[in-house]
Amino acid sequence: MSNRVYLLAWDADGLETILDLTDLEYNIMWTELQSTDGTNASRETLSKILHKLRDRAIMNKRVAYEVRVIHTTDTSEKDIWDMFIRDFPGSVATAREEGILVYSDESSLKNLQIH
């Protein structure tokens, strides 16, 4: 069994981003262990990605964005894409129920309808 952690970002039009945090964290760990200057430049990469997703959501008032982290077992990135394509409303409901909220545009979500 392979445990994976993914960051998902979507709006009313569909899933926009899947980021495999498991691989990213693994790469960050090894970069930091191999670092000789003691910097945390690799860890800043994840922070920059999160800020860009949040900034994109804040700047685009046309749609409401939601960003969540989900933990899975034996689920690939392709499986998640396929799940969102097959049943977008059901996938959003599952991610909301089981995921960890990273960002949402609360005011827009009150009236948001997933088709």
pTM value is: 0.74
CB 64 within 8 A of CB 105: yes
8-state DSSP, 12: T
d(CA 39, CA 59): 31
pLDDT single digits (tens) 31-72: 666 666 656 555 567 778 888 888 887 787 777 889 999 999
Dist. CA 81–CA 16, nearest whole Å: 9
Report the alpha-carbon distance of residue 11 to residue 63 in Å, rounded.
6
The reported pLDDT for the residue numbered 111 is 47
Instruction: Kindly give, in sequence order, each residue whose CB lies less than 8 Å from that of residue 63, ignoring residues fewer than 6 positions away.
Output: 11, 12, 13, 108
